[in-house]
Amino acid sequence: MTGLSRIRRLVVGRDLSSREASDEEITPIEGLSALSLDALTSVAYGPEAILIVLGAAGATSLHLILPITIAIVVLLAILVTSYRQVIDAYPHGGGAYAVSRDNFGPRVSKLAGAALIVDYTLTVAVSIAAGVGEITSAFPSTSHFTVPMSLGILLLITTLNLRGLGESARAFLIPTFVFIVGLLVIIGIGLIHPLASKTPPPGTSLLPHHAVETVSLFLVLKAFSAGCSALTGVEAIANGVPLFKEPRVVRAKRTEMLLGVILAAMLLGLAELAKKFQIQPRTNQTALSQIMGEAVGRHWAYYTVSLTITLVLALAANTSFGGLPVLTSLLARDNYLPHLFGVRDSRLVFGNGVVTLALFSGLLLVAVGGNTNTLIPLFAIGVFIGFTLSQAGLVIHWRRTREPGWTRRATINGVGAAVTASATVIFLLTKFIEGAWVVVLAIPLFIVLFNRVEAYYRRAGEALGVGVIPPPPERKRTIVVVPVTNVSRLTAHALSEAISMGEEVIAVTVEFEGDPAGFSKAEVERQWQEWNPGVPLKVLHTDYASIVQPIVRMVDELRAEKDRQVVVLIPVVIPDRLRYRLLHNQVDLALASELRRRPDVVVARVPLPISAPAPTAADEAGVESDNHAADHADPASTGPPEES
């Protein structure tokens, strides 16, 4: 095992066989930590977003948070019901993308896929930035390290997901449990008998002295759309159905129901307490922090749950790492993304999707300096586009299949589609100038990418004749060209391989004027004749220092004979340590790169592993024996590559 292999195994774990795949699949409870943290932690900013919008109309409008939250919970119930139906109808995952492709066709499905990719990337950035924001609020001296802390958390979550979703789900299970139970207990205490009611809250009220807006339908709709940010992540479970243990559909539906019940209880409880305690937007204090302080006082329970909220806010990015790799694998299956996104790695994870999501999210965090407020205007637009498409697609699905009860289901989905479409329009109108234009631009760019990738795969399929029975294989005579420098064990090893591959073998070496190593054509030919391997040696002459072009020209001459297949077999030394590879020439890389441009030439390497001998006293004195020097002579100085 190489050094890189050891490091990789230490970081992501040992390789898993297909029989061990079930170990990385998740249960409904683990599904809450793996695929639901985004939605659950949205209670930290969803209610506050409502209060900030309502605050423009003054303190007398803040009581509207409860009816607005009730409307959001009704929409949540519609979405949970809808996505439970999506899980039934599309058990292979994909959520809005799968529904759109089945009911609207490829064009609309590309819109759904692009919107979800944008949303998942933003979810990672927003979640981590919000978590780090809580840390820097509690400890202002750490604000200078916002970006490094954000990237560190991103690296941790990425590593855990490369080890497998089961690993990350189990790692995040305890903080998720503390967060859910702790917050529900605090809400219960606040509703029944608050321990610190009427305590003066810290910070300064952000409400204007005079209302700058009147309570209008538009203001209520704007507050509703702002609060709908609490619904992001509801779709992730339907996207990640293949990640659950068997029976996957049953377990995924249970997780979706658990998410809906817990999130609804939290939202309604917090809205009632916000009304009861007359919570206002304040400086340096979130609405959730104020509610918790009023309910239980600023003691150990407050700080325990606060720290847990900080942790799970950062870990909420895990939702995207569970959903996006599955989505990109489906896009790759449909030829909209490179096929490498559909390949599982040694840990049975769609690792390319995980790494790509981490890279895009990291770049976004660096670009905005880890500032949550910069990201919030971009947030939730993509997921609400997905909500609308999945709801509308299910209406068509029920009308087409006409299963028992299809009218009721179609009605529910139709209402949901209308509400989420309205919320999407309000999002765009109210947040476009604040930064939502970036999402409006990014989604079409992803669709263009999908179209270009699809067009390439279509052309490649036609060129390769995929699906067409090809003519019988054509047999050709094979000539094997072996670049060599001198007579050595490496040369003998390469010629042995070459002889077994073809009827005709030619060894070739290059001489050029002014060679500082003193290349001697006569000496090499003398050694070759003395060795007499049964293979002719051809010496190529060049006036230039390049040893690649003479060999390429010779290969081109051989290619002119159409009845022969040219194979170039390049000898390569494999040192026992990675660091020693830099001590050998890399000309084989240049030669292989040049020859790969010729489609009718087969290029291969024949490796010869070597082990470095223990240093002798003479070595330590700076003197090498003749044999040792000969064994380690680098042929790069005298001609073609024998090693890399």
For 238, 308, 348, the CA distances from 248, given in Å and listed in that order, are 11, 30, 17
In this structure, what DSSP letter does residue 205 have? B
Looking at residue 621, its pLDDT comes to 40
Same domain assignment for residues 389 and 531: no
Rounded to whole angstroms, how far apart are CA atoms 99 and 112? Answer: 9
- CATH number, domain of 88, equals 1.20.1740.10
In this structure, what DSSP letter does residue 230 have? G
Same domain assignment for residues 64 and 163: yes
Same domain assignment for residues 422 and 486: no
User: pTM (2 decimals)?
Assistant: 0.74
Does residue 467 form part of some domain? no
| pLDDT, tens digit (0-9, with 9 covering 90-100), for 571-585 | 988 887 777 777 766
Rounded to 5°, the CA angle 53-55-57 comes to 100
**What torsion do the CA atoms of 309, 314, 317, 319 make, to the nearest 10 degrees?**
-30
Same domain assignment for residues 499 and 441: no
Structure tokens at 354: 């995980």
What crossing angle do the helices spanning 106-138 and 300-315 adopt, rounded to 10°?
140
Rounded to whole angstroms, how far apart are CA atoms 556 and 554? Answer: 5
Structure tokens at 384: 């609400």
Same domain assignment for residues 388 and 284: yes
Of 427, 459, 491, which residue is a domain's last? 459
Looking at residue 611, its pLDDT comes to 67
Neighbours of 122 (CB within 10 A): 26
Looking at residue 3, its pLDDT comes to 54
Neighbours of 7 (CB within 10 A): 10
Same domain assignment for residues 487 and 453: no
Mean pLDDT by groups of 10 residues along the chain of 644 residues: 56 55 74 85 84 85 92 90 86 82 92 91 86 72 86 88 72 85 92 77 72 76 82 83 87 94 95 90 80 85 81 79 86 93 76 92 90 74 87 90 86 86 82 80 94 94 84 86 89 92 89 61 85 91 81 89 86 80 74 85 88 47 36 39 39
User: What are the φ/ψ torsions at residue 605 (nearest 5 degrees)?
Assistant: -110, 145
Looking at residue 19, its pLDDT comes to 55
In this structure, what DSSP letter does residue 470 have? P
Does residue 643 form part of some domain? no
Same domain assignment for residues 199 and 338: yes
Long-range contacts of 330-334 (CB under 8 A, 24+ apart): 330/92, 330/93, 330/94, 330/97, 330/98, 331/97, 331/113, 331/450, 334/101, 334/106, 334/109, 334/454
Rounded to whole angstroms, how far apart are CA atoms 491 and 493? Answer: 5
H or E element: which one contains 572?
strand 564-574
Does residue 464 form part of some domain? no
Same domain assignment for residues 421 and 518: no
261: which residues sit within 8 A by CB, 6+ positions away? none
Does residue 602 form part of some domain? yes
For the chain, the average pLDDT equals 81
Longest dimension (CA), the chain: 103
Same domain assignment for residues 544 and 626: yes
Rounded to 5°, the CA angle 259-261-264 comes to 100
Per-position b or e across 153-189, b if 16+ CB within 10 A of its CB: bbeebbebbbbbbbbbbbbbbebbebbbebbeebbeb
- CATH number, domain of 601, equals 3.40.50.620
CA atoms within 13 A of residue 578's CA, in its CB half-sphere: 6
Does residue 17 form part of some domain? no
Task: Report the DSSP beta bridge partners of residue 567.
Answer: 480, 602
The boundaries of the domain holding residue 538 are 477-637
Q: Is 199 exposed, middle or buried (0-12, 13-18, 19+ CB in 10 A)?
A: middle
SS3 571: strand
Does residue 411 form part of some domain? yes
Does residue 4 form part of some domain? no
Looking at residue 436, its pLDDT comes to 78
Rounded to whole angstroms, how far apart are CA atoms 454 and 445? Answer: 14
Same domain assignment for residues 130 and 101: yes
Pick from 601, 517, 611, 489: nearest CA to 555: 601
Same domain assignment for residues 228 and 314: yes
Same domain assignment for residues 455 and 508: no
Does residue 472 form part of some domain? no
Q: How many domains is the chain built from?
A: 2
